[in-house]
């Protein structure tokens, strides 16, 4: 692919394939964790429903998180594309099968001249996007029953919880997670963002609990 005239919304065939595979695998992994039909818990219908719920909550959270990294990276003149990590996607399925989930489906890789500030802004864009998405899902959760029944309410709940969790998790300043780059750029921005993400997640859990 030539990047000479790359726009924030241009994708190679390889990138689209990797995004699609990661989206599907993550959705199935979450469904295996939350509706473990392989352990004799639940029904086939419940498992299929959970795949659908995961697809529109986990999948959207993952996709827009990665696209936020990509758009901001290209804004700063980077050559940026998402690449799935197939070993980690396999691990996500295997871990879900035994009752926990470790998911690092891939990342947006970018190259070009960049400052620590620009790199930090690229990194923080993902968690900030997840917090914004949680705000989008919140009214669906609160008013879902009145608008369309329990399914909408459930979608809203999962959307808020998963997005707040991803925001807080990715702000951990460790390894390839976003928090490390943000901390290297600005301790104050890191502290404010991490505290906000953790605080919102804790507040949500205290108010609505953990339910699936």
Residues known to be catalytic: 66
- Closest-CA residue to 115 (of 63, 19, 53, 185): 185
Burial classification of residue 174, based on how many CB atoms lie within 10 Å of its CB (0-12 exposed, 13-18 middle, 19 or more buried) = exposed
Q: Cβ neighbours of residue 27 under 8 Å, at least 6 residues apart?
A: 51, 54, 55, 58, 59
- CB hemisphere CA count around 3 (13 angstroms): 11
Residue 180, CA distances (Å) to 92, 124, 169 in order: 22, 10, 12
Alpha carbon 112 to chain centroid distance?
25
Backbone angles phi, psi at 80, to 5 degrees: -130, 135
């Amino acid at each position: 692919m030539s990047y000479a005239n790359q726009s924030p919304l241009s994708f190679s065939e390889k990138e689209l394939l990797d995004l699609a595979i990661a989206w599907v695998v993550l959705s199935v992994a979450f469904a295996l964790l939350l509706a473990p039909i392989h352990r004799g818990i639940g029904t086939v219908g419940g498992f299929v429903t959970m795949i659908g719920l995961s697809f529109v909550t986990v999948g959207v959270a993952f996709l827009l998180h990665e696209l936020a990294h990509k758009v901001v990276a290209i804004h700063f003149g980077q050559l940026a594309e998402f690449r799935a990590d197939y070993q980690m996607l396999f691990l996500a399925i295997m871990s879900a099968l035994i009752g926990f989930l470790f998911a690092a489906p891939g990342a947006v890789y970018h190259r070009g001249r960049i400052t620590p500030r620009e790199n930090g802004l690229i990194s923080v864009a993902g968690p900030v996007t997840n917090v914004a998405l949680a705000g989008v899902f919140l009214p669906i959760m609160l008013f879902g029953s009145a608008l369309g029944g329990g399914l909408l309410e459930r979608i809203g709940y999962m959307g808020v919880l998963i997005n707040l969790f991803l925001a807080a998790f990715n702000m951990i300043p460790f390894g390839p997670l976003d928090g490390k780059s943000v901390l290297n750029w600005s301790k104050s921005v890191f502290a404010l963002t991490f505290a906000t993400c953790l605080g919102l997640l804790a507040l949500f859990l205290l108010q609505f609990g953990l339910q699936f």
